[in-house]
Amino acid sequence: MGIGIGFPKYVIFTLLSGWGFVSMYFFGGTITTLFKTFNQLFSGHFIEAFLQYYIYSALPPTSVEHIIFQAILGAVVAGVSWFIAMAARGAPL
């Protein structure tokens, strides 16, 4: 099996497993928090950056779509990271 087939399998089967979904939800939440916080932090709005960090890291999700989006985001980023690592090792496509 090459990495071209392994990438979608990695993303899909990680989301379908119980612990995989939970871990990708947390990983996606971390990525979302960093993007929202750094956007405000680099523009010089430090109070807004703190509020964004608090909203995205400490408060629970507000909808099912929010949970699914974070899990999919985490799985895709983890899958891309896996793909890059395997390509660097010389794995076949």
Q: Is residue 58 situated within a structural domain?
A: yes
Instruction: Write out pLDDT tens, residues 14-42.
Output: 999 999 999 999 999 999 888 888 888 88
Whole-number Å distance between alpha carbons of 87 and 28: 23
Q: Is residue 66 situated within a structural domain?
A: yes
C-beta of residue 6 within 8 angstroms of C-beta of residue 87? no
Q: Is residue 14 situated within a structural domain?
A: yes
- Higher pLDDT, residue 44 or 79: 79
How many domains is the chain built from? Answer: 1
For residue 42, count other CB atoms closer than 10 A to its CB: 9
Whole-number Å distance between alpha carbons of 54 and 4: 38
Whole-number Å distance between alpha carbons of 93 and 78: 18
Q: Note down the domain range covering 11.
A: 3-88
Instruction: Write out pLDDT tens, residues 65-77.
Output: 999 999 999 999 9
Predicted structure pTM score? 0.85
Q: Tokens for 55, please give them.
A: 């909203």
pLDDT value for 51: 86
